Structure 1
Amino acid sequence: MDDFWVFGYGSLMWRPGFAHVETRKARLYGYRRALCIHSHVHRGTPDRPGLVLGLDRGGSCLGLAFRVPGELEMEVVDYLRERELVTNVYLERRVGIRLVDGASVTALTYVVDRSHGQYAGSLDVDHAARQVSASVGQSGPNVDYVRNTVEHLKALGIRDHWLEAVAARIGQTDNAL
């Protein structure tokens, strides 16, 4: 059985939770990392939904690709489905990604389902910052989620200018909201 790849763009990058034999930076074209999913439990409530990451259409996303031994495919896929498909806001996809050395491979990833009720759509920086600043869920303040994500991305050498702008705007509006 051949090895396969998993593409991570958020917490999967620093907390994959599955066995893999190689990790490389990779770019996915046609999708971008975005705070495009309303969180009603972990980072918000139904009355004050928070925002969490999803892969939304357009642009590109720099993330990490994990090479998984083929004999672990079903175990890893089962784990990822349990982790990512809790509310079915994500769609499981096999997508083409480009590794940093230029090689193209197919990877398993999860993209936002735009028809799902939790889809927040494309938000501008100010709207996202206001919503994040006002939301707290079972896993804590939404502000912490965004700031921690930006810190983890920077530690991995990955810049996400839109997400960094949201985090910076949160810092300017914490007391004003």
Structure 2
Amino acid sequence: MRRMSLTPELVALCHREETDPGPSWEWTQLSDDDFSMLASRLGNEADEGPLWVFAYGSLIWKPAFESVEQRRAAAHGWHRSFCLDIERWRGSREQPGLMMALERGGRCDGVIYRLPDGEKPAQIERLLRREIDDHEAVSSVRWVPVRTAQGPLRALGFWVGVTGKGTSLRQPLARVAQILARACGHVGSGAEYLYNTVSHLETFGIHDRNLWRLQDLVADEIRSIHGHMIVGSEPAAMDVAAIT
């Protein structure tokens, strides 16, 4: 088993208690009617058959929905990128963080989940309420063509092709590592998010080379910040269950 440099012990050093600042006035919040209309539109655009959701980050390790089947899948023309600027959730106004989205180019290997049979607009609305909360994010929700061992299909993807305000595209991994090693919000730290994503991808047999390099860099950053608090320097074996 590959050994991650970013360990639960290092991740724990990044945690601190933060208060939820609430939604920012910079973003236009979605109303109940907005969610309903968007869910209806996406439902009308869906293919016949079951509803599939494409997971490439936190949806893999914290889906927050019931599924009846999962498969490995690849989305061509997209790659994982820590490019969403955040001052909430896993960042703060004093120490902004970064969250993951899909940026154009390359290939993203992930997991698709099949939801139970049901009314698609209602299922989609529940997903929307988990993933987005403002009008500016609506364009990042789209149907993504994916390839599986059983053939091609379309799955619902979130934070796909983000642009404009609130994004920092094509950042060097070293810069991303500096941010993730320091940022923390009321739901946890950037280092915790990265650890969970990399470790759970590995359990599916998915090795993302960029994220693997990033976890090395984040581990080094944490050691440089908290070196006096770290006993020993050998990385521990990857423990997927250690952080949830």
Question: Tell me, what secondary structure is at the counterpart of 2:94?
Answer: coil
1:124 to 157, 172, 187: 172
SS of structure 2 residue aligned to 1:37? strand
Residues in 2 aligned to 1:174 and 1:153: alpha-carbon distance in whole angstroms = 22
Q: Deviations over 1:7-62 (max 9, x none)?
A: 11111122222233211000001111111111211111123211111111111111
Higher Cα radius of gyration: 2
Consecutive unaligned residues in structure 2, runs of 5 or more: 1-47, 226-244
Asked whether the 8 Å contact 2:58–2:193 carries over to 1, the reply is no
- Judging changes above 3 Å, is the alpha-carbon distance between structure 1 residues 69 and 136 closer, same or farther for their aligned structure 2 residues? closer
Matched residues in 1 for 2:156 and 2:197: separation? 21
Aligned counterparts, 1:96-115, within 5 A? 96-101=145-150, 103-110=151-158, 111-115=160-164
* 1:94 to 2:143 alignment: yes
Change (3 A) 1:34 1:76: same
Question: What is the identity percentage for the equivalent residue pairs of Structure 1 and Structure 2?
Answer: 30
**Bigger relative CO (Cα 8 Å, ≥ 6 apart):** 2
Q: 1:72 to 1:140 in 2, by over 3 A?
A: same
What is the TM-score when the length of structure 2 is the normalising length? 0.66
| Structure showing the higher strand proportion among its residues | 1
Amino acid at match of 2:73: A
Any idea what the Cα deviations from partners look like across 1:117-161, whole Å, max 9, x if unmatched?
Answer: 221211111011011112111112221221222111112221111
Q: Given the alignment of the two structures, is residue 17 of structure 1 paired with residue 51 of structure 2, yes or no?
A: no
Q: Which moved more, 1:161-170 or 1:11-20?
A: 11-20
Structure that is richer in helix per residue: 2
Find the counterpart in structure 2 of residue 81 from structure 1: 128
- 1:8 partnered with 2:63: no
What is the aligned partner in structure 2 of residue 166 from structure 1? 214
The TM-score normalised by the length of structure 1 is 0.90
Say whether 1:43 aligns with 2:90: yes
Structure 1 residue runs of 5 or longer lacking an equivalent are none
Answer whether contact 2:83 2:167 (CA < 8 A) is retained.
yes
Which residue number in structure 2 is paired with residue 68 of structure 1?
115
**2:203 aligned residue:** 155
